[in-house]
Structures are given as C-alpha cells and as structure tokens.
Structure 1
C-alpha cells in the first residue's frame, strides 16, 4: 500500500482515472493529491464513511476531486 500522498491518491482512484492522472505532470498529480487530502479532511460525511470503510471514503473523495478538478 502506498504511503506517499500521490500514491495513496492514485490507489483510491478508479482504474480509468488512475491511468489518466498517472500520465499528468508530477506537479499536477501533487495538486490533485492535495485537493484529495483537503476533501478527506473537510467533509464530515466522509468522516462517517471513513469510520465504516476507509477505502470507500478515500475512493469517494477521489471521485469528487476528479469530478470537480479532473
């Protein structure tokens, strides 16, 4: 399991988005991973989901970031 922010973000993405993000510049991957971390930290709904299933919360946050910024 990846421990760096970008690696964790990529792991949370669905395969189609993972491939697309992996082809972006390192700076863009960092920017998206930072947005993902902010999404996880700021949404109370995700906090509740995280208690039940951390991978599901990370995947939902990744989906939201890609929908908004992708």
Structure 2
C-alpha cells in the first residue's frame, strides 16, 4: 500500500513519468519519494517557487528526482 509521501510524489509527476515510476519495484518507488521529499527540503531555489506556487515547486522537484535517479538526463 503506497504511503502518503508516495501518493503525493506520484501526483506531482507528469503522466509519462508517473507511469514510469509506477513500473518500478515498490522499494524503488519509496526511494524516489524519499528523495523527492529531501529535494523539497534542501533545494533553496524551490523555496521561492513554493511561495508562488506550491504545486509547481513539487512538480519541479519530482521531475528532477525522476530524471536524476532513473538516469533520464
């Protein structure tokens, strides 16, 4: 059963990347969601964006995590 963190992470992704993540094993999905939470906490550039649009900041961080950790860059 997905955690709330994983549900929020999946919701922040584009449909194509959401599908890609959903194809990953559960453990990898959890790792990606945890990395996304860390990205949101640690990236100070996202702070400004999150003040203007929290959903946009979450989406930006989610896409970055998927690209970096799944080797899409």
**Which range, TM-score by smaller chain?**
over 0.9
Q: 1:41 aligns to what?
A: 41
TM-score normalized by the length of structure 2? 0.89
The aligned counterpart of 2:9 is: 9
CA displacement 1:3-57 (0-9 Å, x = unmatched):
8000000000000000111111110100000000000000111011001000000
The separation in 2 between residues aligned to 1:66 and 1:20, in whole angstroms, is 9
Q: Distance in 1 between matches of 2:30 and 2:66?
A: 13
Unaligned runs of 5+ in 2: none
RMSD: 1.1
Matched position secondary structure for 2:24 = coil
Mind listing any 5+ residue stretches in structure 1 that lack a counterpart?
none
Aligned residues: 68
Normalising by structure 1, report the TM-score.
Answer: 0.92
Match of 1:22 in 2: 22
CA distance in 2: counterparts of 1:67 and 1:53, whole angstroms: 21
